[in-house]
């Protein structure tokens, strides 16, 4: 089944997030952490590619038990890194990217994780989604990270448009009401997991049904 959608107006977008916020008041904006947490966040995000959350967590724990700094990871052998991150899958590729990222962090940024999207995306293996997750959850910036769930909800409902997560992120960033930027990612993620699911969306239970711009096509 395909989908045909049009874009919501700014007033309709505001209504969408007003409803989502009212329905889930327990979802609060993240607190800025910074410091060494930023490096751990970048590494964990890189490991999360095509990996289940529980597998990413297991790989991150194993790696950080061995090293917690760029210098520490570079001092590890290839076997030590790949063995530690094996649960996250694609461990050979991810190990190479981790080494390149750590080297670039030391050579180009003095070992400090950049606090802007351009700087983060200059690091090998770090794309827009990973950069925005670090900016939002580690540095507390009003950035809406777009993962597979947010991408799906935005395109179905009509909040943004894009064939890729990066395209949807750019579209959403240009249209996002400022008042909701800090919790938008978590609200959309929650809605995508609970209601606007990939295979069997619960449209009959959706509080956005009257606003949703999705029209099923044969």
The proportion of the chain whose per-residue pLDDT surpasses 90, expressed as a percent, equals: 89
**Are residues 107 and 77 part of one domain?**
yes
108 is catalytic: no
Answer whether 0.95 is exceeded by the pTM.
no
Last residue of a domain, one of 92, 110, 137: 137
**Are residues 173 and 86 part of one domain?**
no
Name the domain count of the chain: 2
pLDDT at position 204:
93
**Are residues 40 and 125 part of one domain?**
yes
147 is catalytic: yes
Residue 201 belongs to a domain with what CATH number? 1.10.1670.10
How does pLDDT run across 138-162, given as a tens digit for each residue?
A: 999 999 999 999 999 999 999 999 9
Res 32 pLDDT > 90: no
Residue 126 belongs to a domain with what CATH number? 1.10.340.30
Give me the catalytic one of 94, 129, 132, 190.
129
**Are residues 121 and 40 part of one domain?**
yes
**Are residues 7 and 56 part of one domain?**
no
Mean pLDDT of 113-124: 96
Last residue of a domain, one of 113, 137, 161: 137
**Are residues 93 and 77 part of one domain?**
yes
Domain of 130?
A: 36-137
What would the DSSP string read from start to end of the chain?
A: -EEE--PPPHHHHHHHHHHHHHH-TT--PPPP--THHHHHHHHHHHHTTT--HHHHHHHHHHHHHH--SHHHHHTS-HHHHHHHHGGGS-HHHHHHHHHHHHHHHHHHHTTPPPSSHHHHHTSTT--HHHHHHHHHHTT--S-----HHHHHHHHHHTS---SSHHHHHHHHHHH--GGGTTTHHHHHHHHHHHTS-SSS--GGG-TTTTT---EEE-
**Are residues 114 and 65 part of one domain?**
yes
Mean pLDDT of 85-114: 97
pLDDT at position 217:
35
Res 4 pLDDT > 80: no
How does pLDDT run across 34-79, given as a tens digit for each residue?
A: 666 899 999 999 999 999 999 999 999 999 999 999 999 999 999 9
**Are residues 85 and 54 part of one domain?**
yes
Q: For all residues of the chain together, what is the average pLDDT?
A: 93
pLDDT at position 1:
35
Give me the catalytic one of 94, 132, 147, 190.
147
**Are residues 157 and 104 part of one domain?**
no
How does pLDDT run across 175-213, given as a tens digit for each residue?
A: 999 999 999 999 999 999 999 999 999 999 999 999 998
**Are residues 71 and 19 part of one domain?**
no
Last residue of a domain, one of 137, 160, 195: 137
**Are residues 125 and 40 part of one domain?**
yes
**Are residues 10 and 78 part of one domain?**
no
């Amino acid at each position: 089944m395909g989908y045909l959608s049009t874009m919501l107006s700014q007033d309709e977008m505001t209504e969408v997030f007003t409803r989502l916020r009212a329905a889930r008041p327990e979802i609060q904006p993240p607190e800025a952490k910074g410091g060494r947490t930023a490096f751990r966040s970048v590494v964990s995000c890189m490991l999360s590619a095509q990996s289940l959350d529980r597998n990413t967590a297991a790989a991150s724990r194993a790696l950080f038990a061995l090293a917690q700094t760029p210098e520490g990871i570079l001092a590890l052998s290839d076997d030590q890194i790949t063995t530690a991150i094996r649960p996250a899958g694609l461990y050979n590729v991810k190990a190479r990217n981790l080494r390149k990222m750590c080297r670039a962090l030391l050579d180009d940024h003095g070992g400090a994780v950049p606090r802007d999207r351009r700087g983060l995306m200059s690091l090998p293996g770090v794309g827009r989604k990973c950069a925005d997750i670090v900016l939002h959850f580690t540095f507390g910036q009003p950035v809406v990270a777009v993962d597979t769930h947010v991408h799906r909800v935005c395109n179905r409902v009509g909040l943004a448009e894009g064939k890729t997560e990066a395209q949807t992120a750019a579209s959403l960033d240009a249209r996002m009401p400022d008042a909701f930027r800090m919790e938008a990612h978590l609200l959309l993620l929650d809605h995508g997991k609970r209601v606007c699911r990939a295979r069997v969306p619960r449209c009959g239970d959706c509080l956005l049904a009257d606003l949703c711009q999705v029209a099923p096509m044969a």
